Copies of this chain bind each other. A is one copy, B any other.
Amino acid sequence: MTIAAPRSDGAEGPEIDPSVPTIDTVRSLAARYSNWGRWGADDELGTLNHITPSDIVAASGLVHDGRVFSLAIPVDEHGPQSGGFGRFNPIHLMIRDGNAAATGTVVRDFYGGRDRWIRGTDDLLILPLQSGTQWDALAHIVFDDHIYNGYHATDVGSKGAIRNDIAKTRDRIVGRGVLLDIPRSKGRPWLDPGEPIHAADLDACAEAQDVAIGRGDIVLIRTGQMAQCRADGAWGNYAGGAAPGLALDTVGWIHDRDIAAIATDTWGAEVLPNETPDVFQPLHIVLIVHMGLLIGEIFDLEGLAADCADDGRYEFLFTAPPLPITGGVGSPVNPIAIK
C-alpha cells in the first residue's frame, strides 16, 4: 500500500515512507476523501445522505424470519469505562422506588399525603454519552479548529453543538445493515489487540460471506474483542487500550463504496496502537471530520454474528436512531438488527 502524502499546504513534497504514516498522511487522506460541501454548505448529515428512501424499502425486504437482535451492551455501572477522557460508566439512581411503595412513604414524600391507591416508581441516569454503545456525532471530533463540513470548532460550545449535533440524525439511521465478521472469516474467535483490519480483509470477509456492500449500507465490523473480554471475564484495557480495528487504508474502501455509517465492537473502531505514532485516532479525523461518516462504537455484535454464521445471511434491516439530544455530540443507542 502506498499513500501519497502531499504536505498540508498542498505543495509538492517528498514521498512519505508508507510504513510510517504521519499527520501528513492524515492530511492527505482528509483532502482526498473530504465530503465538505458535497451535500451543500449547510449539510449536517454527511454520509447518511447516501441512504435513499428506496434503500429503506429494499432493506425492509431483508426481514425473512422476524428475529430481532439488540446490539447494545447493558447501560449500567459495569460498563467498560475507567475514567479516561473524563468518561465514567452510567450511574442509575431511583427517584422513588418500590420500597417506598411497600412502606407507604411514597404517599408522604411525593403525593402530598394524599393516597389515591397508585404507587409509581421513577428513576434517573447520569450518563456520559460516550460511555457505552453509542454513535459519535459529527460534532464529536475537531481537527485544525474545524468540524465536518467546515464549521468552526466553536460551534461546539459550553452548551453543546449548534452544528452537526446528533439530534440532526434523529430519523436517518435506518437502512440496510451488513455484518462483516472478520475473525470468523479467518477461522478465529477474535482478532488480537493491535491487529489491523485492512481493506483487503474487508473484501475477503465480504467474499467469504458472499455479501456485497454498496451505497447507503451501514456496515457493522466485528473484531471479536468483546467476546474476548467476556472470555476473560473483565473489560481490562478495552477502553482506550490496545485493540484490533480499522487501518488507514480502509478510508478509501469506505469512501468508494458510499457507505453510510460504520460501527464496531470496540471502544474506538480503529486499530490501537494507531499506525500513526504522532496522531491519535487518525481515522476519526478523516472519517468524521472530513468524510462526515457516522461511527458507532461498543456495539455488541455477538448474538447477531452467531445468527449470521448459522443461517449464512449477513444482511438485515438495521435501525439505530439516536436520542434526539439537542446539542449532543453523541448518543447512547440500542441498535436493532431485524432478519
* In contact, A100 and B336 (Cβ under 8 angstroms): no
Q: Does A199 contact B (CB under 8 A)?
A: no
Q: Does A92 contact B (CB under 8 A)?
A: yes
Once bound together, how far apart are the Cα atoms of A113 and B192, in whole Å? Answer: 29
Q: Does A23 contact B (CB under 8 A)?
A: yes
* In contact, A63 and B68 (Cβ under 8 angstroms): no
Question: Which residues 254-298 in A have Cβ within 8 Å of B in the complex?
Answer: 278-282, 284-285
* In contact, A119 and B142 (Cβ under 8 angstroms): yes
Q: Does A50 contact B (CB under 8 A)?
A: no
Q: Does A56 contact B (CB under 8 A)?
A: yes
Q: Does A2 contact B (CB under 8 A)?
A: no
Identity of the chain B residue whose Cβ is nearest the Cβ of A330 in the assembled complex: B123
Identity of the chain B residue whose Cβ is nearest the Cβ of A77 in the assembled complex: B83
- Chain B contacts of A145 at CB under 8 A? 101-102
Q: Does A172 contact B (CB under 8 A)?
A: yes
* In contact, A98 and B280 (Cβ under 8 angstroms): no
Q: Does A125 contact B (CB under 8 A)?
A: yes
* In contact, A334 and B338 (Cβ under 8 angstroms): no
Once bound together, how far apart are the Cα atoms of A56 and B62, in whole Å? Answer: 12
Once bound together, how far apart are the Cα atoms of A111 and B67, in whole Å? Answer: 38
* In contact, A53 and B67 (Cβ under 8 angstroms): yes
Which of B100, B116, B155, B332 contacts A280, CB < 8 Å? Answer: B116
Q: Does A72 contact B (CB under 8 A)?
A: yes
* In contact, B109 and A157 (Cβ under 8 angstroms): yes
* In contact, A128 and B95 (Cβ under 8 angstroms): yes
Q: Does A244 contact B (CB under 8 A)?
A: no
Which of B54, B102, B158 contacts A94, CB < 8 Å? Answer: B158
Which of B23, B102, B141 contacts A119, CB < 8 Å? Answer: B141
In angstroms, how far is the closest chain B Cβ from the Cβ of A125? 5
* In contact, B128 and A122 (Cβ under 8 angstroms): yes
Question: How many copies of this chain?
Answer: 4
* In contact, A68 and B129 (Cβ under 8 angstroms): no
In angstroms, how far is the closest chain B Cβ from the Cβ of A11? 20
- Chain B contacts of A336 at CB under 8 A? 171, 174, 319, 321
Once bound together, how far apart are the Cα atoms of A155 and B147, in whole Å? Answer: 24
Interface string of A44-87 (1 = CB under 8 A from B): 00000000111111001101111111101111111000010111
- Chain B contacts of A69 at CB under 8 A? 171
* In contact, B56 and A68 (Cβ under 8 angstroms): yes
Known interface pairs A76-B327, A121-B329; 8 further A-B residue pairs with C-beta atoms within 8 A, sorted by A's residue number = A53-B66, A72-B324, A98-B152, A98-B154, A123-B328, A124-B126, A319-B338, A321-B334
A-B contact pairs, 26 of them (CB 8 A): A75-B323, A75-B325, A76-B325, A78-B326, A85-B120, A85-B122, A88-B88, A88-B91, A92-B325, A94-B156, A98-B153, A98-B161, A99-B153, A102-B154, A105-B154, A106-B158, A110-B158, A117-B285, A119-B141, A119-B153, A120-B142, A122-B140, A123-B325, A125-B126, A126-B126, A323-B332
